[in-house]
């Protein structure tokens, strides 16, 4: 075994072999990951995750210049954890942007953004043709911008309504100019938990099939998990196991993004939110277990700026982007940042405060600027 900064004498005997495997860059099993997650101290998980993070990226911490366009919060689905969507029958606090509205949002956005992120509710009247045309118009307006659009939940409905396969629908969107997929809609893959919190939306198998289809077309994507609600550690490991297996097959995932359940204004408001300690454990085990994912992202509008900063010591090497106050998904659920916007200077300062090196990236992690 190579030299370690973790003393075996200080570890419980049943953790020694797992730690040795991790430090020797060997893949741990689902069983080992679950044992480590449930029995390893926060400091041990943090140390292991930070070792991996620094081996892969040193002190580099990535962000990009981006905005979100959320076409509508009207949605045909009724997810118990969602504070954002409104059913057609309940249009209070609802919005529905036209193509002209969305193009105006982009036209008024800062000229140096490199990515537009398009996700929203699943609206029955916003179909494949509507979105393909929107993307074409976006590319006319901003030819060089990267279009990251539509969760698997949106895509499943769009393709089903258009009577095309996932691959056919994605090919139409790619031909229109779509470049990649976000990771939303994964929630939790365990079928029983999924049935309880989001029974009517796309299934686990469909989510994975859609991302595999995108990868086969050369469209990379991200992956997420929704944690801190009714799931158990075994469900978290199972979720990541399915992602790790698909990544082994396709190599198409850019980043993994744990998303914290927020309990305001939804049907699961009776649940307490996960603690900061739980956040640390979640991000650390993700970095340790997902050995074929290069990037672990803390989405600061959801987790909060201070927590995102802390998590840079627990495996995280990316905190998303400037956003420019263009997302409502987490502010409506009670996230700390009710006006999610950071300037480049603020993000750079946030990263530098914890002795990390800010790197402005594009969506595919090509370096745009190194803030030494």
- Between 66 and 86, where is the model more confident? 66
CA 7, 11, 17, 18 dihedral sign is negative
C-alpha 10/C-alpha 247 separation (Å) is 34
- Between 142 and 3, where is the model more confident? 142
Task: Determine, yes or no, domain membership for 255.
Answer: no
Domain containing residue 110: 61-221+261-274+295-370
Task: Determine, yes or no, domain membership for 116.
Answer: yes
With bands split at pLDDT 50, 70 and 90, how would you rate the model's confidence at 104?
very high
Residue 292 confidence (pLDDT) above 70: yes
Domain count, the chain: 1
Residues near 117 by beta carbon (within 8 Å), at least 6 away in sequence: 66, 67, 68, 69, 148, 149, 182
Task: Determine, yes or no, domain membership for 13.
Answer: no
C-alpha 19/C-alpha 3 separation (Å) is 12
Please state the pTM of the whole predicted model: 0.91
Task: Determine, yes or no, domain membership for 8.
Answer: no
Task: Determine, yes or no, domain membership for 14.
Answer: no
C-alpha 84/C-alpha 68 separation (Å) is 15
Model pLDDT, residue 1 = 37
Task: Determine, yes or no, domain membership for 157.
Answer: yes
3-state secondary structure the chain: CCCCCCCHHHCCHHHHHHHHHHHCCCCCCHHHHHHHHHHCCHHHHHHHHHHHHHHHHCCEEEEECEEEECCECECCCCCCCCCCCECCCCCCCCCECCHHHHHHHHHCCCCCCCEEEECCCCCCCCCHHHHHHHHHHHHHHCCCCEEEECCHHHHHHHHHHHCCCHHHHHHHHHHHCCCEECCCCCCCCCHHHHHHHHCCCCCHHHHHHHHHHHHHCCCCEEEEEEECCCCCHHHHHHHHHHHHHHHHHHCCEEEEEEEECCCCCCCCCCCCCCCHHHHHHHHHHHHHHCCCCCEEECCHHHHCHHHHHHHCCCCCCEEEECCCCCCCCCHHHCCCCCCCCCCHHHHHHHHHCCCCEEEEECCCCCEEEECC
- Between 321 and 283, where is the model more confident? 283
CATH of the domain at 120: 3.20.20.70
Task: Determine, yes or no, domain membership for 79.
Answer: yes
The mean pLDDT of 74-85, rounded to a whole number, is 68
Mean pLDDT of the chain: 89
C-alpha 119/C-alpha 181 separation (Å) is 10
Q: What is the pLDDT of residues 339-348, one digit of tens each?
A: 667 889 999 9
Residue 2 confidence (pLDDT) above 80: no
Looking only at the bridges linking them, the beta strands covering 357-361 and 367-370 are antiparallel
Model pLDDT, residue 86 = 57
Task: Determine, yes or no, domain membership for 189.
Answer: yes
Model pLDDT, residue 3 = 43
Q: What is the pLDDT of residues 26-53, one digit of tens each?
A: 999 999 999 999 999 999 999 999 999 9
Percentage above 90 pLDDT, the chain: 73
Q: What is the pLDDT of residues 247-283, one digit of tens each?
A: 999 999 999 999 998 877 776 788 889 899 999 999 9
């Amino acid at each position: 075994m190579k030299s370690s900064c973790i003393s075996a004498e200080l570890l419980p005997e049943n953790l020694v072999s797992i730690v040795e495997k991790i430090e020797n860059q060997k893949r741990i099993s689902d069983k080992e990951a679950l044992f480590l997650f449930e029995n390893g101290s926060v400091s041990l998980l943090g140390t292991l995750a930070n070792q991996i993070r620094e081996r892969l990226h040193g002190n580099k911490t990535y962000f990009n210049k981006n905005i979100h366009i959320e076409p509508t919060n009207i949605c045909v689905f009724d997810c118990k954890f969602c504070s954002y969507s409104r059913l057609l029958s309940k249009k209070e606090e609802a919005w529905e942007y036209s193509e002209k509205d969305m193009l105006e949002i982009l036209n008024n956005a800062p000229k140096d953004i490199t990515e537009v992120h398009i996700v929203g509710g699943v609206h029955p009247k916003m179909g494949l043709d509507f979105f393909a045309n929107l993307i074409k118009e976006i590319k006319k307006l901003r030819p060089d911008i990267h279009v990251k659009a539509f969760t698997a939940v949106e895509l499943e409905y769009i393709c089903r309504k258009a009577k095309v396969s996932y691959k056919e629908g994605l090919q139409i969107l790619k031909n229109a100019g779509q470049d990649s997929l976000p990771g939303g809609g994964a929630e939790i893959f365990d079928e029983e938990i999924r049935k309880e919190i989001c029974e009517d939306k796309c299934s686990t198998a469909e989510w994975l099939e859609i991302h595999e289809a995108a990868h086969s077309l050369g469209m990379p994507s991200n992956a997420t998990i929704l944690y801190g609600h009714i799931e158990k550690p075994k469900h978290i490991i199972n979720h990541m196991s399915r992602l790790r297996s698909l990544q082994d097959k396709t190599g198409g995932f850019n980043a993994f993004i744990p998303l914290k359940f927020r309990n305001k204004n939804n049907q699961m408001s009776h649940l307490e939110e996960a603690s900061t300690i739980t956040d640390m454990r979640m991000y650390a085990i993700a970095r340790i277990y997902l050995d074929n994912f290069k990037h672990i992202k803390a989405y600061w509008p959801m987790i909060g700026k201070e927590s995102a900063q802390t998590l840079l010591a627990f495996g995280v090497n990316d905190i998303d982007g400037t956003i420019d106050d263009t997302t409502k998904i987490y502010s409506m659920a009670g996230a700390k940042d009710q006006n999610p916007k950071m300037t480049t200077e603020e993000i750079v300062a946030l990263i530098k405060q914890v002795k990390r090196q800010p790197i402005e990236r594009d969506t595919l992690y090509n370096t745009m600027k190194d803030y030494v």
